[in-house]
Structure 1
């Protein structure tokens, strides 16, 4: 096997970033590519279901004064340290160079997460191409690239003004509060901020870009990225879905479930078709207690059946506002057999694809967005941060597969509005449901042989093999 069939995969250690890139690695391995995945010791558990033929390079997490010892995944990180976390990971540069130079079959390409922009300089140093992997969609990535390329500023006191992205298709606009927190937190001259800016600009200079999306979903934004980057090496290969062998358990995608998949699916088996709402806010978001109370009241008042995945309670933020994420007392007893509460990680893909599930109340993280669309469920959108406001725009305003029920990480929803939206989402003949099912068909067609994502994946592999031949 030549080095042209050996890929070095570098995920960013956060579940929402790692899971789709690991799915991509499995797809490559299934096509005969030799794969090496780099992780730090405390992220090894996320690789437990990967094929045994995939090689794992384990390097110590680099020390950084602002990252607590033992924290190696963003799920465990305290609030406000993502820039320091990204900066710390840059300390892997020299160890990777040493590994590369000593390897008998060094990789022909680096495929790395968009939060690891420094790997562009690494790849240039090693003389191999770097391909950016975007766990966000093409629309959201377009807004990120525009921000870091143009560096727009908001005047003091103009926090409610809208930032207009004129060059991006459909000219989206967002209030400053909904712009990427990484960008809003930029401080000129600050080493961590400058590293983030350099990283995104390095992404734009990298040889290629793989996006977890598909053309029928985001064609106009994929085409926009090709134009902005000045080349056609932009491949939409999604939706990336798990590829497992007979010994693997797809319900453990992202980690062990807090409740066995069989228990959840058995409970759903007792429900009528399209009469259940699934509620989850991803792997990191923990609601404030007032939000928990309002959401619980809305679910209770809706009269609908539901499955609610609740992240483990945490102590409050740096201002000491007490505990977050507490389920209201006696709530589970009051909803009886009508609601199932899962405390911790849930087998989300299996739940969404069950015949009983009609709608998904979601924070609109991109993995959840794609998993919901691939399952054909309508969306009840509650974007909270990062790329989620852009994803909600796509779902609600452009694709029309859902409605917005709340916005913001600190906003307390109106229980009556939640109750009405949940109750309506399990009614028959919902237009959003019809459009969601159409997109499900498009998503499944995209990844089939001959589909757009299937073709882009093949083209991606071909161009890597042929580069500089």
Structure 2
């Protein structure tokens, strides 16, 4: 080998190697896959870490499809420890139980991560495992960035939760709002009910993770400045949670990557034949199960409204348990009456493809944060919060002018929000810019 070629070889910069660790639930997995796709496209080495077994079939399918379309992404699948009988909880939510198991099992990952070549430059981990991943990142001598699947405002509530729980009056029956210094008050009605019970598994997991936030290098948020201006400004200038939170890095709205299912062509071709902005898309997310009475009431409303609709239906939290046929859920008479104006279907759909279709005029949704960000890109109205962080999300949506129930905001502001979201994800937009700043920092550390 010549001297010049040796010099060239030595001068070649090392690429950042980033491990991404999502937790159970499509709402948690989706932003990680989108972030992994972006990083991989920017010449970063990416290792995706997933727990086995997964809770839902949708997670397994999406991970497999993602890996088949991103062959350069390395995959580590680690087995969770069996449940500990001494920590059995009355909570029956399979996703919360999986979060608990993941935290108990994470220490097993260290040998696999330590042996990766080239060595890791950083870990991007889910908020839910912040307390468990911190010591591992410390042992590896690399920074940990937390990826939050919520709004910045709800992140602030989670970060402040240990302090709220230490004060008996925070969630008292007499309280009408929850106050966090530097932020607008939270109406007590928007606080997830489990937060009022310090012994609830969900509350315990969130509060434990919140205590380790300051150890992170930063928190990557799937949001953007124009959507949460007051909260992001309060956090960035130190008026809110100054000693609790590391730097907040807004990277949203994260762009979806191409991911097709076998039945995509059916509903997309149906949409192709509908008039512009004439279809209401109805979906309550990957975890929100509807009761028989809710299904009956919603079907009556759709029938009487006369609007065209695409309704993605779910009757159980875990899709593997969703065994009912559509006709048994809504009734054959409903399907017959509405066959010329609507589709009712089960299973996972390409929501991004649906929302960007020009015939979609409204989105009846649970206000999950990924759905909010996807809708924001198109300026499509989003109503109907259901649980968890969604009441807080609904307030943000309302204030941003994207709430269909608040006509006073008008379509002009909704279009403006959509335009700002598109700017944030453009080539020179904030979303990619912030991620690339993190990559640049890791590049400098590696070299």
TMscore range, shorter length: 0.7 to 0.9
Alignment of 1:370-389 (within 5 A): 370-379=373-382, 381-389=383-391
Structure 2 CA distance, aligned partners of 1:51 and 1:108? 20
Query: Aligned residue for 2:176?
Result: 162
Alignment of 1:434-449 (within 5 A): 434-449=412-427
> Do structure 1's residue 400 and structure 2's residue 401 form an aligned pair?
yes
Give TM-score scaled by structure 1 length.
0.80
Structure 2 CA distance, aligned partners of 1:96 and 1:35? 16
CA-to-aligned-CA distance 1:45-95 (integer Å, 9 cap, x gap) = 32223410000011112211479xxxxxxxxxx843544322210233332
Alignment of 1:21-420 (within 5 A): 21-43=32-54, 44-47=60-63, 48-49=65-66, 50-65=69-84, 79-117=92-130, 118-151=132-165, 158-159=172-173, 161-175=175-189, 178-187=190-199, 194-226=204-236, 227=238, 228-230=241-243, 233-243=247-257, 250-252=258-260, 256=261, 260-312=263-315, 326-379=329-382, 381-396=383-398, 398-404=399-405
8 Å contact from structure 1 (residues 134, 209) kept in 2: yes
8 Å contact from structure 1 (residues 212, 238) kept in 2: yes
Cα 1:351/1:323, change in 2 over 3 Å:
closer
Query: Aligned residue for 1:417?
Result: none
Query: Aligned residue for 1:416?
Result: none
Aligned residue for 1:116, secondary structure, equals helix
Aligned residue for 2:128, secondary structure, equals coil
CA-to-aligned-CA distance 1:368-389 (integer Å, 9 cap, x gap) = 111111122122x111111100
Paired residues, what number? 413
Structure 2 CA distance, aligned partners of 1:30 and 1:403? 36
Aligned residue for 2:340, secondary structure, equals helix
Q: Indicate the larger mover: 108-117 or 227-236.
A: 227-236
8 Å contact from structure 1 (residues 279, 362) kept in 2: yes
Cα 1:66/1:446, change in 2 over 3 Å:
farther
Cα 1:389/1:166, change in 2 over 3 Å:
same
Structure 2 CA distance, aligned partners of 1:6 and 1:234? 21
8 Å contact from structure 1 (residues 204, 229) kept in 2: no
Cα 1:240/1:361, change in 2 over 3 Å:
same
8 Å contact from structure 2 (residues 51, 78) kept in 1: yes
Cα 1:3/1:187, change in 2 over 3 Å:
farther
Structure 2 CA distance, aligned partners of 1:154 and 1:278? 42
Cα 1:229/1:34, change in 2 over 3 Å:
farther
Cα 1:314/1:27, change in 2 over 3 Å:
closer
Structure 2 CA distance, aligned partners of 1:85 and 1:66? 15
CA-to-aligned-CA distance 1:323-356 (integer Å, 9 cap, x gap) = 9993245211122211111122222111111111
Query: Aligned residue for 2:442?
Result: 464
Query: Aligned residue for 1:74?
Result: none
Aligned residue for 1:40, secondary structure, equals strand
Aligned-CA RMSD value: 3.1
Give TM-score scaled by structure 2 length.
0.83
Cα 1:2/1:185, change in 2 over 3 Å:
farther
8 Å contact from structure 1 (residues 207, 233) kept in 2: yes
CA-to-aligned-CA distance 1:197-238 (integer Å, 9 cap, x gap) = 221221243121100111111232223333224577321111
Structure 2 CA distance, aligned partners of 1:65 and 1:443? 44
